[in-house]
């Protein structure tokens, strides 16, 4: 999530102790490095909130075509000129903008990922994870850990996140944009992870909780014999202009079905779920997997696409994302073995875990026993 890459790097960095015979000042430099490592973590929210302000106020879009003076950007966006300059300067310090003489700025390569039309845009992620709703969740973290009861969304807003999205159109809009922001990289990782799997016997693939269908379109584009089905909540797929199948020319091979994955799913030869089970506790996950098992054809497979927790002592984004899930709802990140156990409890047989050549995702495969 926002700020995760910087935090992940810091969390994994180990500063070696000075050895005998090190030059004078080595111990002091090591202490300073360690202090800076901790300070980098403490001030991580400063960076992500500066980034959020830049996205929210539209400065990246204002600079998308050319270099401009800070005063011109401020005038176009209706901002206070001196304060706008200070924000742009800070964004440049983060490597998101480039600053030149005369208080002139342009979008840096990294900052282009915050433009709305970038193919791998992260704009929605920034607006969601550093926006007011998700920002407010983190203040409940110490109390949750003391109490042994997670889900800061209920503590802060009195309802589950999905219920809040139904009641608050603004949050729903940002949430949907964030899910679309994630989709490109995650689709690539999932398709690459399963590149060695035999899909020749799969006629129908169902994406459970598939959103606007970006992931299933990745599989339809690769495997031309596939028919796709996306199961999603009615409000998510109500606006057909946002559905990926038609936009990518795959509408003839993909249909969208409104429904509830806890009750019933379409019949298919294979199922894929990307970042679905991590939203729920173990009992809820088993309920979902049993529902799929009931509808699956004999020998059907299920592919669980998630951030998989690594071995002890190995830094990974999943271990940080797990705390976010503690705040956001009732779910958690899990190891491949833990997902395998959930599959077995729901009647599936665990087969194997697949990984892409690069990226943060993994795919746990089960087969209908």
Name the residues annotated as catalytic: 278
Asked if 40 contacts 15 with a C-beta cutoff of 8 angstroms, the reply is no
User: What is the DSSP pairing of strand 301-306 with strand 348-354?
Assistant: unpaired
SS3 sequence, 45-94?
HHHHHHHHHHHHHCHHHHCCCCCEEHHHHHHHHCCCHHHHHHHHHHHHHC
Asked if 278 contacts 288 with a C-beta cutoff of 8 angstroms, the reply is no
Strand partners of residue 227:
204
Closest by Cα among 118, 260, 234 to 172: 234
- Distance CA(369)–CA(366), nearest Å, equals 9
Distance of CA 100 to the CA centre of its chain: 34
- Distance CA(145)–CA(141), nearest Å, equals 6
- The position carrying tokens 């176009």 is 76
């Amino acid at each position: 999530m926002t700020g995760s890459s910087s935090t992940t790097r810091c969390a994994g960095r180990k500063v070696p102790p000075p050895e005998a015979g090190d030059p004078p000042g080595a111990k002091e430099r090591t202490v300073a490095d360690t202090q800076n490592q901790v300070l980098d973590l403490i001030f991580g929210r400063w960076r992500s909130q500066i980034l959020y302000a830049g996205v929210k106020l539209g400065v990246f879009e204002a600079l998308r075509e050319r270099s401009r003076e800070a005063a011109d950007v401020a005038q176009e966006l209706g901002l206070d000129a001196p304060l706008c300059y200070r924000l742009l300067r800070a964004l440049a310090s983060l490597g998101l903008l480039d600053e030149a003489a005369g208080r002139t700025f342009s979008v840096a390569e990294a900052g282009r990922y915050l433009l709305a039309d970038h193919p791998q845009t992260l704009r929605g992620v920034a607006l969601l994870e550093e926006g007011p709703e998700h920002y407010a969740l983190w203040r409940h973290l110490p109390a949750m850990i003391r109490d042994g009861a997670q889900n800061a969304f209920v503590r802060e807003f009195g309802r589950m996140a999905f219920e809040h999205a139904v009641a608050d159109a603004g949050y729903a809009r940002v949430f949907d944009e964030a899910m679309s922001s994630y989709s490109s990289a995650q689709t690539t990782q999932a398709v690459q992870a399963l590149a060695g799997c035999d899909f020749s016997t799969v006629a129908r693939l169902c994406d459970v909780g598939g959103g606007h269908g970006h992931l299933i379109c990745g599989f339809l584009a690769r495997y031309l014999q596939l028919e796709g089905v996306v199961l999603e909540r009615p409000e998510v797929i109500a606006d057909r202009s946002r559905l990926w199948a038609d936009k990518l020319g795959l509408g003839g091979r993909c249909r969208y079905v409104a429904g509830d994955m806890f009750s019933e799913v379409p019949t298919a030869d294979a199922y894929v779920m990307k970042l679905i089970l991590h939203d729920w506790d173990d009992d809820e996950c088993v309920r979902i997997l049993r529902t799929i098992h009931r509808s699956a054809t004999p020998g059907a497979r299920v592919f669980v696409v998630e951030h998989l927790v690594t071995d002890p002592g190995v830094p990974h984004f999943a271990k940080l994302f797990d705390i976010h899930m503690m705040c956001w709802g009732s779910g958690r990140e899990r190891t491949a073995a833990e997902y395998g156990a959930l599959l077995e409890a729901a009647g599936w047989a665990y087969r194997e875990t697949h990984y892409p050549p690069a990226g943060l995702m993994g795919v746990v495969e089960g087969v209908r026993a």
